[in-house]
Amino acid sequence: MLHNSLFVVLDNIRSGHNVGSVFRTSDAFGVDKIYLCGITPSITHKEVKKTALGAELTVPSEHVYSLIKLIKKLKHQGFKIYALEQHKKSIKLGRFKPHYPCVLVVGNEVNGVNKKLLKIVDKIIEIPMIGKKESLNVSVAYGITLYQILRNKIK
């Protein structure tokens, strides 16, 4: 593990298109690994491959069934765990300062990040919304968040 590693966890993402988009964005920003949890489609899924355009092969990934066990293991290895979620305890993305190595958890398109997981993460981060809709597409929110987290590394 590198001291500046960034891993991503996709928590029960339903759409293969969203997963493929996350892979493309992750490749562009140099994410070290993606964990696919629960019902999240694998890299062999037709929609993932169509949207990822080969990035599913350039970013290491692993399918894991127990999200909580994975997060506890990564915490034990020294990773800070951050969840992207609208929550009463969240901090605004613009004020967030990541500490590495870290993991960014992105949740299900409808239900968000697993509620049990939110109790054990180090921080919950949120993109401020000023429009009429309360949320963004998960892959769009991921891209915005990843750019904000990595903006000081990519100057």
Q: Are 147 and 52 in contact (CB under 8 A)?
A: no
Q: What predicted TM-score, i.e. pTM, was given to this entire model?
A: 0.95
Looking at domain 6-150, what is its CATH homologous superfamily?
A: SPOUT methyltransferase, trefoil knot domain (3.40.1280.10)
The better pLDDT of the pair 7, 151 is held by 7
Q: Are 27 and 49 in contact (CB under 8 A)?
A: no
Tell me the mean pLDDT in the region 65-92.
Answer: 95
CA 60/CA 127 separation, integer angstroms: 27
What's the pLDDT score for residue 3? 75
What's the pLDDT score for residue 2? 64
The domain segmentation of the chain, as residue ranges, is: 6-150
Share of the chain above pLDDT 90, in %: 88
Band of residue 1 on the pLDDT scale cut at 50, 70, 90: low
Share of the chain above pLDDT 70, in %: 96
List pLDDT tens digits, range 131-144.
Answer: 888 889 999 999 99
List pLDDT tens digits, range 88-134.
Answer: 999 999 999 999 999 999 999 999 999 999 999 999 999 999 888 88
Q: Closest Cα partner for 117 from 74, 148, 150, 59?
A: 74
Q: CB burial class (10 A; 0-12, 13-18, 19+) of residue 41?
A: buried
CA 79/CA 35 separation, integer angstroms: 14
